[in-house]
Chain A
Amino acid sequence: MVPIAITVNGKLRKAHVEPRTLLVHFLREHLNLTGTHVGCDTSQCGACTVLVDGRSAKSCTLFAVQADGSEVTTVEGLAPEGQLHPVQQGFWEEHGLQCGYCTPGMIMSAVNLLKDNPAPSESQIREGIAGNLCRCTGYQHIVTAIQHAARHSGKAAR
């Protein structure tokens, strides 16, 4: 077991973990932050996407020890309790989901995209979520949700 200290959603979380503990398991099982999902567990589907030091990463393909000293943002940390981040609001307004399993990862990828490019074209949005698979929606409502978020982000965008 090795000691780690990771700032998760603004709060410093210290723990002792086995080096082989994946970041996604640390978040879900040690911190009970179950908003981050395990989908394929093979680095493909993006359901486990979080921000590590401000950039999107697949937390199933990262050991928690690699994130020691980093800042991690999960879907739970995007907006204060009771409020929605503009991207979450976009998914709400445009119904950017069906079963919802991919949604937290989609949202985190969209946050990463809008940080780099606050006014993306439709094709740039599709490239921006290329690392996230959705088996329900056909993606169209996800794209319009992110377009909604881009229009309404303004100062609230992170």
Chain B
Amino acid sequence: MIPVAFEYQRATSVDDAIAKLAASGGGKFIAGGHSLVPLMKLRLSEPAQLIDIARIPGLSGIRASGGRIAIGATTTHYEIAASPLLRDQCPMMAEAATEIGDPQVRNRGTIGGSIAHADPAADFPAVVLALDADIVLKGPTGARTVKASAFFRGFYDVDLGAGELITAIQFAPVKSAGYAKLRQRASHYAVVGVAAALEVSGGVIRSARVGLTGATTHAVRLTSLEAALAGKRADAVAAACAGAANDVADVNADLHASADYRKAMIPVFARRAVERALAR
């Protein structure tokens, strides 16, 4: 399958990328291209120009400073999965990366691309919601930061302005966090995916943040489950998770799973994610 013809330029810096896109008229950024290239081949996306940001120096990499971790936008899923820093300090992030697609996809796909594209069944949106991450953006009018909870707005709809680029994902690492998903057997997309990040002391969950992907138009926080988990010990997690789907409306249905089935799986995978978090 051959996409519509386009022009191609490589950006040498973030500012260069923003300037090139602004000058392109109908251009798009490309990094790993593992969401965009398939869409272009199907001619569902026909950008006149691609600005390649994959090799911008400093835009990839995982850094810790001041108790927070910053993951550069062009860091690949493979690099996240293999990161000793993340495996140690925020294992859920590495665990979720390991479950994305397949090895070839993980070698090319990037976290910035996954979050900007915001496929309703992508894994990272749930993870960055549970981590209460900041999405760091830069555009023609400067840099800004958006909370993950405000970034995902609807079906493939995110708070990313025309000409804006994600530069990094920043968060305070959470050790007691887990990701569990029911994966679609061929694509490994999440039919239902739940990320849970807990604050635990003395065997009691003091607070919880839970992100859900795959089940609705866009990834969302399960705030009533978060409230139900607060103050609970491990033996009360199953009961708290039983109502995980109660406030989830308009559940997706497709050939992989009916809405009822997805709804039934939300508590199951919420419980697995929370138990995984508690085991850390």
The answer to whether the Cβ of A26 comes within 8 Å of any Cβ in the partner chain is no
A2, A19, A44, A56: the one contacting B103 at CB < 8 Å is A56
The reply to whether A20 and B5 form a contact with Cβ atoms under 8 Å apart is yes
Cross-chain pair count, CB within 8 angstroms: 76
Contact-residue size bin, chain A (C-beta under 8 Å from the other chain): 20 to 34
Complex Cα spacing A113 to B107, Å: 12
Which residue in chain A gives the minimum CB-CB distance to B30?
Answer: A66
The reply to whether B5 and A55 form a contact with Cβ atoms under 8 Å apart is no
Cβ distance A118 to chain B, nearest Cβ, rounded Å: 15
Residue-wise, chain A 120-133 has the 8 Å CB interface mask toward B (1 for contact) of 00000001101110
Binds A, one of B32-40, B141-149, B259-267: B32-40
The reply to whether A56 and B8 form a contact with Cβ atoms under 8 Å apart is no
Complex Cα spacing A130 to B105, Å: 10
The reply to whether A128 and B103 form a contact with Cβ atoms under 8 Å apart is yes
Q: A62-B108, A109-B104, A131-B103 are in contact. Are A20 and B2 (CB under 8 A)?
A: yes
CB neighbours (8 Å) of B33 from chain A are 61-63, 66
Complex Cα spacing A132 to B103, Å: 10
Cβ distance B4 to chain A, nearest Cβ, rounded Å: 7
Cβ distance A108 to chain B, nearest Cβ, rounded Å: 9
CB neighbours (8 Å) of A109 from chain B are 103-104
Complex Cα spacing A132 to B188, Å: 13
Complex Cα spacing A46 to B103, Å: 10
CB neighbours (8 Å) of B108 from chain A are 52, 57-58, 61-62
Cβ distance A6 to chain B, nearest Cβ, rounded Å: 14
The reply to whether B6 and A57 form a contact with Cβ atoms under 8 Å apart is no
The answer to whether the Cβ of A32 comes within 8 Å of any Cβ in the partner chain is no
Could you tell me which B residues sit within 8 Å of A by CB distance? 1-8, 10, 30, 33-34, 37-38, 40-41, 50, 52, 54, 78, 101-105, 107-108, 186-188
Q: Which 9 A-B pairs have the closest CB atoms?
A: A131-B102, A19-B8, A55-B107, A130-B102, A131-B104, A58-B104, A65-B8, A56-B104, A61-B37
Could you tell me which A residues sit within 8 Å of B by CB distance? 2, 18-20, 22, 41-44, 46, 49, 52, 55-58, 61-63, 65-66, 68, 109, 112-113, 127-128, 130-132
